Amino acid sequence: MTYRVTRRQALADALAATAGALLVTACGASVSRTPATSGSTLQARWIDPQGIGLLRPGPGEPLADRTDLAPRQPLEHVIGTLAHITDAHVLDASSPARATFLDRLGPPFQSTFRPHETLTTQVLAGTVAAIRHLGPDAVIQGGDLIDNAQRNELEHALSVLTGGTVHPGSSPHGYYGVQLASNPDPFYYRPDLDAPRHPDLLQEAVRPFASPGLKALQYPVLGDHDVLVQGEIVPTAETRKLALGNQALWELLPGLHLPPGARSEITNSPDGPPSPGLVSAFIAQALKGPKQRVPADRGRREMAVHEVVARLQENRATANADRIPANANVTPANANRTPANSALDYHGDVGPNLRLIVLDLARRKGGSGGLVRPDQPPWLEQQLAAAKNRWVIAVSHQPLASSVGGDQLLALLDRHPRVIAAVSGHTHRNEIMPRSAPNGGYWLISTASLIDYPQQARAIQLIATHQGGVALRTWMLDHVFPGNLGTISRQLSYLDAQGGRPEGFAGTRLDRNVTLYVR
């Protein structure tokens, strides 16, 4: 079977354009100076000054004013500061349940393998370090915290967020996957052998490290990858057996290709099509093909939705136990629900003047796109009424505008005079759009992922303006993991031919560091 271009060849081609500069850097030389230790892109940011694929620290990106919804007003004082992390996709790169072989088919499967996928815990930890420097009042964990609904992925990610020793690897070997030097498959990038060479990277990637944790209020959001295999299909007896077993699917079965009409299902999300049937059909066929023997690990158990929701609730309660002020008014998520109807809808107040309303749009029957349940519109209406004079930010993983039934929720937000933003992830893209409404409108804010370039989180400040109104000041945060592993991950994600740079996930100048005025 002929493939358009392998990930390994794409990296090599990108390196050739640097005239050797990047190869020298990758083989051990460090960059000449480092960006801001805070990770704030207001102070410094990563740039490619020569356009050759080599990232270097550069000057910061100052705030720009956006007056699409309201004119400028004098800014007075900060009401609250938030951080938004989304789409960390902490993954077990050795898991036999991963469908890396599908990446060869291109869109919509380009997210099933990435050259930097062994470094997801370090990138999340570096983001935690940047957020600790920011010192926000609360942190929104915006969903897709993990990649493949596995228990060990969730425990690794929560260890990073709450603090403690993190053990990124799995199985007795720590790493045993498609990027091993012994794998002759020309598709996969092998850091020990292929350019850019990073000898011993796979060993360093699974080395335990200490995370100080966020030390801030945490508000989790449920994403499709948190509860679905590859963010697409409900765990089945077959996928669970594969995850816990010792046989992995590394190769594409000869003759396996996209069926007619499949391209029409491709969305603007790296998670792929909203229909689970496309992925499940490929998995079923691939299971008939050749398999690679790998070490098994019982920690790879695929979780049911109610388990994931309960674990996120438990971690939230533990993390927030000593940090919830008397006026925080945090409702217990999932109150009075059973495993059959488990959902992560709740609200929390950040101080006396700001309410977060978290919406769970993850599909229980499979598919990556957002889905509004029948009970959510009346519930949201009640939450908005109960907010009274507080400013309101709605939070979901999938954007409301692209979710089935999302127009009902947007209509409710349109009518409420204190709604100032709807914040989401899922698309892996920095994007800020104004939404006009009878009461003046609000901002639709999407934050990039930590798995694809630019691998950023977002800071959001609510600021009182001169005549009793508010503005939102927002800017991007780069991860700042100690040592060079975070830098390697960022550089590999930048070179990834199917990743965030060619897809424009960094957004435009007005999607990043801006002040957003609200009428």
Q: How far apart are CA 359 and CA 346, in angstroms?
A: 7
Q: Is 21 part of any domain?
A: yes
pLDDT at 26: 42
Q: How far apart are CA 498 and CA 504, in angstroms?
A: 11
pLDDT at 17: 54
Point out the least confidently predicted range of 64-68, 142-146, 285-289, 395-399: 285-289
What is the pLDDT averaged over residues 473-487? 97
Percent of the chain with pLDDT over 90: 70
Q: How far apart are CA 276 and CA 325, in angstroms?
A: 42
pLDDT at 276: 60
Q: Is residue 356 over pLDDT 80? A: yes
Question: Residue 302 in contact with residue 97, Cβ under 8 Å?
Answer: yes
Percent of the chain with pLDDT over 70: 84
pLDDT at 285: 73
Question: Residues near 239 by Cβ (< 8 Å), separated by ≥ 6?
Answer: 97, 229, 233, 283, 302
pLDDT in tens, 302-326: 999 999 999 999 999 887 776 655 4
More confident call, 44 vs 35 = 44
Q: How far apart are CA 322 and CA 163, in angstroms?
A: 14
Looking at 261-359, list the stretches that DSSP marks H as alpha helix, in order from N- to C-terminal side. Answer: 276-286, 305-320
The chain-wide mean pLDDT, for the chain, equals 88
Q: Is 113 part of any domain?
A: yes
pLDDT in tens, 108-123: 677 789 999 999 999 9
What is the pLDDT averaged over residues 253-265? 66
Q: How far apart are CA 370 and CA 410, in angstroms?
A: 13
CA distances from 272 to 106, 239, 240 (A): 10, 19, 22
Give the count of beta carbons closer than 10 Å to the beta carbon of residue 65: 12
Tokens 């630019």 identify what position? 454
Question: Residue 499 in contact with residue 114, Cβ under 8 Å?
Answer: yes
Tokens 């004079």 identify what position? 389
Q: How far apart are CA 472 and CA 350, in angstroms?
A: 15
Q: How far apart are CA 357 and CA 441, in angstroms?
A: 17
pLDDT in tens, 128-137: 999 999 999 9
pLDDT in tens, 371-423: 999 999 999 999 999 999 999 999 999 999 999 999 999 999 999 999 999 99
CATH of the domain at 468: 3.60.21.10
Q: Is 62 part of any domain?
A: yes
The answer to whether the predicted template modeling score (pTM) of the entire model surpasses 0.75 is: yes
Q: Is 202 part of any domain?
A: yes
Burial class of residue 31, CB neighbours in 10 A (0-12, 13-18, 19+): middle
Question: Residues near 174 by Cβ (< 8 Å), separated by ≥ 6?
Answer: 94, 203, 206
The number of domains in the chain is 1
Q: Is 219 part of any domain?
A: yes
Per the rule left: phi > 0, alpha: psi between -120 and 50, beta: everything else, 517 is: beta
Q: Which two tokens stand for residue 430?
A: 């920095």
Vertex 374: Cα angle to 370 and 375 (nearest 5): 105
Q: Which two tokens stand for residue 119?
A: 């470094």
Q: Which two tokens stand for residue 11?
A: 């990296």
What is the pLDDT averaged over residues 495-513? 95
pLDDT at 275: 62
Provide the residue range defining the domain that includes 165: 7-517
Q: Is residue 484 over pLDDT 60? A: yes
CA proximity to 344, closest of 357, 360, 355: 360
pLDDT at 318: 83
What is the pLDDT averaged over residues 178-191? 94
What is the pLDDT averaged over residues 451-455? 98
pLDDT in tens, 62-72: 999 999 999 99
Q: Is 352 part of any domain?
A: yes
Q: Is 1 part of any domain?
A: no
Q: Is residue 141 over pLDDT 90? A: yes
Q: Is 2 part of any domain?
A: no
pLDDT at 460: 98
Q: Is residue 8 over pLDDT 50? A: yes
Vertex 156: Cα angle to 144 and 455 (nearest 5): 50
Q: Is residue 339 over pLDDT 70? A: no
Count the alpha carbons within 13 Å of 482 in the hemisphere toward its beta carbon. 4
